[in-house]
Amino acid sequence: MRRGEYSARSITELYLERIEQIDRSGPALNSVIEVNPDALVMADRLDEERRGGRTRGPLHGIPLLIKDNIDTADRMSTTAGSLALQGSTARTDAFVMQKLREAGAVILGKTNLSEWANFRSTRSTSGWSARGGQTLNPYALDRNPCGSSSGSGAAVAANLCAAAIGTETEGSIICPCSTNGIVGIKPTVGLVGRSGIIPIAHSQDTAGPMARTVGDAAALLSAMAGLDPRDRITNQGAGKAQRDYTRFLDPDSMRGARIGVARNYFGFHDRVDVLMEEAIEVMKELGAVLVDSRGKYEGSGFEVLLYEFKDGINKYLASVSDDVAVHSLCELIRFNEFHSEEEMPYFGQEIFHTALEKGDLSNPDYVNALHKVQRLSREEGIDATLRGRRLDAIVAPSAGPACLTDWINGDHFMGGSSAPAARAGYPSITVPAGFVHGLPVGISFFSKAYHEPVLIGLAHAYESATRHRRPPAFLPTVDFG
């Protein structure tokens, strides 16, 4: 664009054409739930600014896709993939959207997701929503893209956008990025404002960038971070957010770094273990010191999620417009029962029922559970391991190769390491680490709160030395030949 070879409009047109060719027809990934009818208008406006000598930064005119649980104050709906919110348009942008618009991004559309961010059933299938259908994995179309940011992961991998925004409560950025062979950053909770994002749990929820390179993810994180006046937790990050995370993209970042190897997250797949051992050798060659570690990094946090979901979803639904069908968790449950053929053809809503039975956030059971999970994951978990072994970061396999999409039995993941950082509210980043039978596998780097600069440096150094990512071939199934 600087050289005049492309414009925001021409790039946006190319992406819209590719969405039509690959997502709507061809392999029909089904990763984009809605295209922004005003995308080209946005692009034209940004091109006019560039011609006038004004550029807002590295995202000026760059087309992005946004997960469909993030409010956009435009003609697109925000539904979390549910028919109950069909046609729900936000009155105001989510904080993340405000930041991206200010940075000059072109909003291409919304991505499909695991309905209600995968917090409806214990037997759910990732990447499926009643509104959007099933998102496919672009590396093998019968394989699952993982969730809940399934559409964002598949769309970035398939080059349907320059980058995308996902959200995570526990694994919903890290797993789809690993499974779709891309980079994902799950920021420290409090670095990125959550106002206007359909919630699961305020102690763990965050939005984050999903991109094809660490550099692109760092540029996107730079635009997203900041104080959100509608999200008090961002006050904890005052003065800790970096204006430009791309300045930490140093290929020599491994030299002298001490990295813990979380061996207790190995062993669920022999070929994944081989990839991790190869990654460890690369890090040693780059000058890092690798230290085996088997620390326990988390306690069970599901009880916390149930309480916080009930509180958060009732507040969000109470705020939507009057013409939307539901305004509480109770009404949502009744809607799904009444529309069970469309909403529950494969799995139910037992998590909704369990959450509905919980009390409010003053309940001692909730308070004690939250204190326990944060103590075990933070001071007695990640913090203790980093301090005791004098580590800069910890590494582990992000997830296994993609499982088959199975609407009868639901997801069947083998293993992964997203839980420690998620429950602590600490940052993690996943980077492609290789392939198992043509299916991508990622490696995760995680550390203590607000150590995104350290993780970005380490991840970039590893990525620069390995360059494992390769574009998907949209195979109908795994090629064992």
How many degrees, rounded to 5, is the angle at CA 275 between CA 274 and CA 281?
Answer: 90
pLDDT, position 402: 98
The answer as to whether 456 is a domain residue is yes
What torsion, rounded to 10 degrees, do the Cα atoms 105, 110, 114, 117 define? 60
Query: What one-character-per-residue DSSP string does 13-59 give?
Result: HHHHHHIIIIIISTT----EEEE-TTHHHHHHHHHHHHHTT---STT
Radius of gyration, CA atoms only, the chain: 21
Neighbours of 473 (CB within 10 A): 11
Between the two ends of the chain, the Cα-to-Cα distance in Å is 42
Sort strands 289-293 and 206-211 into parallel, antiparallel or unpaired.
unpaired
pLDDT, position 480: 86
Q: What is the pLDDT of residues 294-328, one digit of tens each?
A: 766 666 799 999 999 999 999 999 999 999 999 99
Residue 437: which region, alpha, beta or left (left: phi > 0; alpha: psi -120 to 50)?
Answer: left
Longest dimension (CA), the chain: 61
Three-state secondary structure string covering 163-205 = EEEEEECCCCCHHHHHHCCCEEEECCECCECCCCECCCCCCCC
pLDDT, position 298: 61
Q: What mean pLDDT is predicted for residues 55-69? A: 98
- Is the pTM of the predicted complex or chain greater than 0.95? yes
d(Cα 402, Cα 440) in Å, to the nearest integer?
Answer: 8
Report the percent of the chain where pLDDT is more than 90.
97
Residue 28 structure tokens = 């029909």
Kind and range of the H or E element at 433?
A: strand 428-436
What confidence tier does 89 reach under pLDDT thresholds 50, 70, 90?
A: very high
d(Cα 452, Cα 247) in Å, to the nearest integer?
Answer: 12
Catalytic residues: 67, 148, 172
Look up the CATH number of the domain holding residue 100.
Answer: 3.90.1300.10
Q: How many CA atoms lie within 13 A of 220 on its CB side?
A: 31
How many domains does the chain divide into? 1
d(Cα 402, Cα 100) in Å, to the nearest integer?
Answer: 31
Q: Which residue has the tokens 């950082």?
A: 421
pLDDT at 451 over 90: yes
How many degrees, rounded to 5, is the angle at CA 174 between CA 99 and CA 298?
Answer: 110
Distance of CA 473 to the CA centre of its chain: 23
Name the 3-class secondary structure at 388: helix
pLDDT, position 299: 63
pLDDT, position 80: 98
Q: What is the pLDDT of residues 136-170, one digit of tens each?
A: 999 999 999 999 999 999 999 999 999 999 999 99
Q: What is the pLDDT of residues 259-296, one digit of tens each?
A: 999 999 999 999 999 999 999 999 999 999 999 987 66
- DSSP symbol at 84: G
Name the 3-class secondary structure at 456: helix
The answer as to whether 160 is a domain residue is yes
Residue 441 structure tokens = 């596998």
Mean pLDDT of the chain, nearest integer = 97
Q: What is the pLDDT of residues 219-240, one digit of tens each?
A: 999 999 999 999 999 999 999 9
Q: What is the pLDDT of residues 96-105, one digit of tens each?
A: 999 999 999 9
The answer as to whether 472 is a domain residue is no
Query: What one-character-per-residue DSSP string does 242-292 give?
Result: -S-GGGG--TTTTTT-EEEEEGGG--S-HHHHHHHHHHHHHHHHTTPEEEE
The answer as to whether 481 is a domain residue is no
pLDDT, position 37: 98
The answer as to whether 287 is a domain residue is yes
The answer as to whether 239 is a domain residue is yes
d(Cα 33, Cα 31) in Å, to the nearest integer?
Answer: 6
Question: CA distances (Å), 270 to each of 235, 414, 434, in order?
Answer: 43, 11, 14
pLDDT, position 387: 96
pLDDT at 202 over 80: yes
d(Cα 2, Cα 151) in Å, to the nearest integer?
Answer: 30
Domain containing residue 225 = 8-466
